[in-house]
Amino acid sequence: MGGFSSEREISLQSGTAVAEALKSMGHDVVIFDFQSIEELVGKLQAGGVDCVFNALHGRFGEDGQVQKILDGLRIPYTGSGVRASQLAMNKVASRRIFQDNGLRVPRYQVVHKDDLYPQINVAEFPVVVKPAHEGSSIGQSIVDDINALPSAVESAACFDETIIVEQYIPGREITVGILDGRPLPVIEVVPKNKFYDFQAKYTKGMTEYKVPADMPEDVKGKVQGAAIKAHRLLGCRCFSRVDMILDAKNRPVVLEVNTIPGLTSTSLLPKAAAAVGIGFSQLCSIMVHAAVNKHYAEALAES
């Protein structure tokens, strides 16, 4: 947990909660917080690790880099593998896959950080400006007119060289957790801010969560179907969280797949699991067992 991404503090919260949960389930837990790749590799090479619970959010932990290291050391780890992690973290690459396979995504265009006056043709204003490789809504903003666009691009460029400018879709903000390859109940996110930004995500009382979301069964089926399709298209394993907008015609529009979603007892994936009777400690233990079972099944297949 921890690491050195822009989401370090959120990772520390997730990691602390997960460690306590796993201890309560009888696991022998060692916490690895680190500030460099060399430090982490040294700790892992020291031995004694049966499985890594990856609670690293953002770059390095969520984009395939730590997964590649763990594969090289042949250590089981929770969550998705290298390629799925790379694709999910790259909003441009993942959206192309979603589009090619019939999932609805916002109209968007890609802007380089040096282009402060891009020609926007994805839609009429407002638009959403966001870094292509960040999570937790970091560097994201809604722009209502062309005059505010340069500062929004500049803000996003603080975190990424590649920026997405996308159609703003009015609708209900929803998310679907995936566990063991199956969709959990739909959650509706109702932020007090204009959208589910960093403040709304991590400030108590700034967001209302409806679990499960109130919607007709046929709409719920479409939403969960889109979520599991997105999860599978990227090759994710065991768990993820798929964020979407339900538009005015009750159609799910996929925004992104999170391979390492927030993992405190009040985070969205644990909320969805709790709705079907899976407590937070049990959820964390399920993730560990899935990782170990997957690892040794793959090793057996190779032998």
Cα distances (angstroms) measured from residue 152 to each of 164, 167, 202? 11, 14, 22
Q: State the pTM of this model.
A: 0.91
Rg of the chain (C-alpha set): 19
How many helices (DSSP H) and strands (DSSP E) are in the chain? 10, 9
Write down the catalytic residue from 7, 63, 160, 173. 7
- Is 217 a known active-site residue? no
- Is 24 a known active-site residue? no
Q: Is residue 246 classed exposed, middle or buried when 0-12, 13-18 and 19+ CB atoms within 10 A define those classes?
A: buried
- Is 241 a known active-site residue? yes
- Is 63 a known active-site residue? no
Write down the catalytic residue from 90, 262, 267, 285. 262
Write down the catalytic residue from 11, 80, 258, 281. 258
Q: How far apart are CA 80 and CA 165, in angstroms?
A: 27
Q: Which amino acid is at 194?
A: K
Write down the catalytic residue from 202, 209, 247, 250. 202
What count of residues does the chain have? 303
Write down the catalytic residue from 241, 267, 281, 285. 241
- Is 258 a known active-site residue? yes
| Strand 141-143, strand 172-179: pairing | unpaired
Three-class SS of residue 227? helix
DSSP summary character for residue 114: T
Complete domains list, the chain, with CATH: 108-167 (3.30.1490.20), 170-280 (3.30.470.20)
Write down the catalytic residue from 136, 240, 267, 281. 136
- Is 214 a known active-site residue? no
> Vertex 281, ends 280 and 282: CA angle to 5°?
90
Write down the catalytic residue from 3, 197, 243, 281. 243
Among 77, 11, 3, 84, smallest CA distance to 290 is for 77
Walk along the chain (303 residues) and give the pLDDT tens digit of each residue: 999 988 899 999 999 999 999 999 999 999 999 989 999 999 999 988 999 999 999 889 999 999 999 999 999 999 999 999 999 999 999 999 999 999 999 999 898 877 655 666 655 789 999 988 876 567 888 988 888 888 888 888 888 889 999 999 999 999 999 999 899 999 999 977 665 555 555 556 667 999 999 999 999 999 999 999 999 999 999 999 999 999 999 999 999 999 999 998 779 999 999 999 999 999 999 999 999 998 888 877 886
Among 67, 50, 94, smallest CA distance to 231 is for 94
